[in-house]
Structure formats: structure tokens, C-alpha cells
Amino acid sequence: MKIDGTPFRTIWLDQDGWSVRIIDQTKLPWSLDILRLTELGQVAHAIRAMQVRGAPLIGATAAYGLCLALRAEPSLAAMEAAAAMLAETRPTAVNLRWALARLLTLLRETPEPARVARAYAEAAAIADEDVAQNRAIGEHGLALIAPFADAGRVVNILTHCNAGWLATVDWGTALAPIYAAHERGIKLHVWVDETRPRNQGAALTAWELGKHGIAHTVIADNAGGHLMQHGAVDLVIVGADRVTRRGDAANKIGTYLKALAAGDNHVPFWVAVPSSTLDWSLCDGIAEIPIEERSAAEVATVTGRAMDGTITTVRLTPKDSPAANPAFDVTPARLLSGLITERGCCAANEASLCGLFPEFALPPPL
Ligand code: MRU
């Protein structure tokens, strides 16, 4: 996507051909800072500190992290240790483990002298595939938006967190259909949940929609239900960090409450995911998906730009009040209108998912 006319991805190789460039998302929307990562530790920090975030982007970043680790030490033992370290950085988004497993499977079979080059080629393939998959999600999701645009009517879409191009290598998942609809001249307005505690909606989704010229309004997280009751939301589209084989979807904390409100108000609720976010090994999302618990400081404080222009973090809570910070929740499949994948849209259940991805269907019991 373009920032002020210049095309960007969220991660790319530097001109030196080996170090990794990222946009530091902790600095948005205040400044566009590009970081250069040269070693494994920096990559692990970037993922943990959420300089890069969003399930597909975390996966691509981990892949490049393994490349940097192998460049320093290409032995099998060092590779396994680096992958284990990266896998621990964030637990919920399955894309991280998916990308590492894909590289490890290939590189364990690769002789040491060829390992680094092969790792970089595979990391690039992961990044390029993510872009193509998200583009396809955009086209499939467009078909869900278009019927609301009768006679040039403005379509009102609500989204939670940031599942835009910043959360992926490019295009985004939940925002890809919005970008596709905007390209086709459909008039849109996006309700952007601020998404406490880290405000990915207020800071990142609002920033990227604004850069793309898409009308949007940032709302407090609790406003969505009220807007739905008053007919102000045509549909909800969110991303996910992990979707089980029966269609339960883990996404940023608060997604579940939006799905409940959408169900109560008969507002369609779609979850957009590339296949790298599908975890075919799990069934019951509430019982089985690991939920990241982040620092209480993210709840107790908020960071923003002070009137004098400096970026400042202030405390919101009494200094002795404990805070808790579960970073994701699971929306049960029954609350979803369906899933938007790169292979098309489907109902959120195992049979429909396996209809699109027959290679993951289980053999019938004997
Ligand atoms: O904690 P984050 O910012 O990494 O959480 C991101 C989300 O929850 C996104 O909605 C999800 O990763 C889908 S991204 C295309």
C-alpha cells in the first residue's frame, strides 16, 4: 500500500540483500520510523514489543528472524534453538509457529552450505504468498460488501483492532475487502474500535484508512453495540490470530463482545483469514487456543502525543490498583456469519472449511 504516494510493505529486505527493514508500529501514528534488523535478538524484541504485530506479519517476521540467525550460525542445532526462541515471543497467533515450522521442515533437509540462501528464498515466498492471499481475501470479501451499496448508498462497516496492511505483509485481512470496495468506487464508512489497551484501532487502523482516503470514525470500544441497535452498522469484518478446524476464532480482546452484539442485532459478522491462520490441529478454541497475557502496564497507562508535541505515557489508574491484560478472546463459530479466506467465503464449521481446504479433511472413521 502507499504512504503519501510511496509504495510500502511492512517488511522487506534492505538494499544490502540480507538485513531486514520494518516499520516501527509502536511509533505510529506519530512518526514513520523504519528500523533495520540485523540479528535474531532484535527480531525477537520487535515481535515481543509489537514493533511488528498482526498475525500474518508476525509469521513473516519470524521467518526472516530465522534467516538472520542462520546467517550468523547455520548449524542445525543453532537453527533449532533460534526457532524455539522465536516461537516463544508471542503465543496466540498461529502464523508465527506455522512460518517457523515451514522453514524448519525445508531446512532440516537442506545441506548446511545451502541453508542460508534457501531460508531467505522461503521467507520471501511466505511474504509474497501473504500478499497474494490477502489480495484474494479482498476480492472475496468485496462480494459481501457490494450488496449493501445499492443506489450509491454508503456502506457502514465496523472493525476491531488492526487487521489492515500493517498487520500483514500487505493489503490486510479484514481491511482488504474494504480496500477492494474502495477501489471499485463503493462508498464506505468504517467504524474503528479504538481497541484498548494498545489502541491498534485508534492508532493504526485510523492511520492507514486515513492515508488511503477512506472515511472512518474512531469509537470507544463500548460504542459498537449501541451503533448496531440504531442501524448504523451494515456489517462487521475482523481478522483473527488463530481459527480452529471447527471455526472458533481467536482475535484481539473485545472481538467476542462485538460478535454478541452483532448476533443480537442481526448484523453480519465476518472473520477474514489467510490459510496460515487456520490451525487444523485444534477444535475447541475456548479450551485449546493459548491466550497471551500481556503486561498490566498496557492497561494502567496510555501513550499519546502531548499538546507540546512530545510523545508521552501517562498513568490512568491509581498506582496501587492491579490490572489484568488478556490480549485475545475466542469467538465461538456459532456467532460468525462465516470466514473469508483466499479460496473463498464459507460457513464457520469443519465441513465448510474442509470444502475449501480438502487437503485438511480427516479420513472417515473406520
Ligand atoms: O496484538 P496484535 O496487535 O498483534 O493483535 C492483532 C490482531 O488481533 C489482529 O486482528 C489479527 O492479528 C488479525 S491481523 C490480519
With a 6 A CB cut-off, is 168 part of the ligand 1 pocket?
yes
Q: Of the residues 25, 161, 166, which should be mutated to test ligand 1's pocket, given the most ligand atoms within 8 Å of the CB? A: 161
pLDDT tops 90 at residue 243: yes
CB 345 within 8 A of CB 143: yes
Could you state, in order of their start, the residue ranges of all structural domains in the chain? 2-131, 138-360
* C-alpha cell recorded at residue 53: 504485530
pLDDT tops 90 at residue 365: no
Question: What does the pLDDT read at residue 162?
Answer: 98
pLDDT, tens digit, 9 for 90 and up, residues 146-168: 999 998 999 999 999 999 999 99
pLDDT tops 90 at residue 143: yes
Q: Could you say which of 1.50.40.10, 1.20.120.420, 3.40.50.620, 3.30.470.20 is the CATH number of the domain covering 2-131?
A: 1.20.120.420
How large a percentage of the chain has pLDDT more than 70? 100
Question: What does the pLDDT read at residue 364?
Answer: 84
Residue 262 neighbours by CB under 8 Å, 6+ apart: 228, 233, 236, 268, 269, 335
The rounded distance, in Å, linking the Cα atoms of 272 and 175 is 9
> Phi and psi for 338 in degrees, rounded to 5?
165, -175
pLDDT, tens digit, 9 for 90 and up, residues 215-224: 999 999 999 9
pLDDT, tens digit, 9 for 90 and up, residues 101-142: 999 999 999 999 999 999 999 999 999 999 999 999 999 999
With a 6 A CB cut-off, is 241 part of the ligand 1 pocket?
yes
347 CA from centroid of ligand 1 (Å) = 22
57 CA from centroid of ligand 1 (Å) = 9
150 CA from centroid of ligand 1 (Å) = 31
Same fold, 2-131 and 138-360: no
* C-alpha cell recorded at residue 329: 478472546
Domain at 138-360: CATH code: 3.40.50.10470
Q: How confident is the model at residue 73 (pLDDT cuts 50, 70, 90)?
A: very high
> Phi and psi for 106 in degrees, rounded to 5?
-70, -45
* C-alpha cell recorded at residue 144: 459481501
Residue 168 CA: which ligand 1 atom is closest? 15
* C-alpha cell recorded at residue 161: 483492532
With a 6 A CB cut-off, is 28 part of the ligand 1 pocket?
no
Q: Mean pLDDT score of the chain, rounded to an integer?
A: 97
With a 6 A CB cut-off, is 208 part of the ligand 1 pocket?
no
SS (H, E, C) 10-30: CEEECCCCCCEEEECCCCCCC
Q: Which amino acid is at 32?
A: L
SS (H, E, C) 213-228: CCCEEEECHHHHHHHH
pLDDT, tens digit, 9 for 90 and up, residues 183-207: 999 999 999 999 999 999 999 999 9
Residue range 314-331: mean pLDDT, rounded: 98
CB 207 within 8 A of CB 195: no
> Phi and psi for 354 in degrees, rounded to 5?
-70, -25
pLDDT, tens digit, 9 for 90 and up, residues 13-34: 999 999 999 999 999 999 999 9
Output the CA angle 272-277-282, nearest 5 degrees: 115
pLDDT, tens digit, 9 for 90 and up, residues 252-310: 999 999 999 999 999 999 999 999 999 999 999 999 999 999 999 999 999 999 999 99
Q: How confident is the model at residue 361 (pLDDT cuts 50, 70, 90)?
A: very high
With a 6 A CB cut-off, is 9 part of the ligand 1 pocket?
no
241 catalytic, yes or no?
A: yes
How large a percentage of the chain has pLDDT more than 90? 98
